[in-house]
């Protein structure tokens, strides 16, 4: 599924739910679903303004909620004091590495963690539902002084 397809999936979702397809909703979806980064509301709003497609903050929040309900976007909280949003793509579940210097987020998948966490939960009498792992560290670029950002 490439970017355009995902935006179309959002349009389909809106139509299926008898929700109007508005300019704002499409612009927000285009930016958020095409983003390689984990965007904050501020970054998203800023990018829309840059494109000459400014959208009110309330609308941004309301549209993100729709994108989350449609399953196309996932909410992330890296304890920065605000949330970030990530296109769901087709990845069922993955972990995050967060560079504590530049804030870059790297995703990876590790099958073993699913099993490990299920066993850990069971060992303590819990029925596992999901888990969340964030590894904090310093990325290669920041370590070698090739600081991008």
Contact status: 131 vs DNA (CB under 7 A):
no
| Binders of a second copy in range 47-86 (CB under 8 A) | 77, 79
Residue 13 token pair: 């979702």
- CA distance linking residue 5 with residue 26, whole number of Å: 12
Task: Show contacts of 104-112: CB within 8 Å, 24+ apart.
Answer: 104/139, 104/141, 104/148, 104/149, 105/37, 105/38, 105/76, 105/78, 106/139
Residue 131 interacting entry, from a second copy, DNA, none, C-beta within 5 to 8 Å by type: a second copy
Candidate residues 2, 36, 52, 81; the one interacting with DNA per rule CB under 7 A: 81
Contact status: 2 vs a second copy (CB under 8 A):
no
Binding map of DNA across residues 12-51, x = CB under 7 A, - = no contact: --xx--xxxxxxxx--------------xxx---------
Q: How far is the CB of 110 from a second copy (least distance, A)?
A: 6
With contact defined as beta carbons under 8 Å apart, do 137 and 97 qualify? yes
């Amino acid at each position: 599924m490439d970017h355009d397809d995902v935006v179309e999936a959002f349009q389909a979702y809106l139509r299926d739910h008898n929700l109007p397809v508005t300019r704002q909703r499409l612009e927000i979806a285009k930016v958020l679903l095409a983003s390689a980064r984990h965007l904050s509301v501020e970054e998203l709003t800023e990018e829309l303004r840059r494109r000459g497609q400014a959208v009110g903050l309330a609308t941004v929040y309301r549209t993100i909620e729709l994108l989350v309900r449609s399953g196309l976007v996932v909410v992330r909280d890296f304890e920065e004091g605000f949330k970030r949003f990530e296109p769901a793509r087709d990845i069922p579940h993955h972990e995050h590495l967060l560079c504590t210097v530049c804030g870059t987020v790297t995703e990876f998948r590790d099958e073993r963690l699913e099993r490990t966490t299920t066993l850990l939960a069971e060992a303590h009498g819990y029925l596992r539902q999901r888990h969340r792992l964030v590894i904090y560290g310093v990325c290669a670029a920041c370590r070698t002084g090739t600081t991008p950002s």
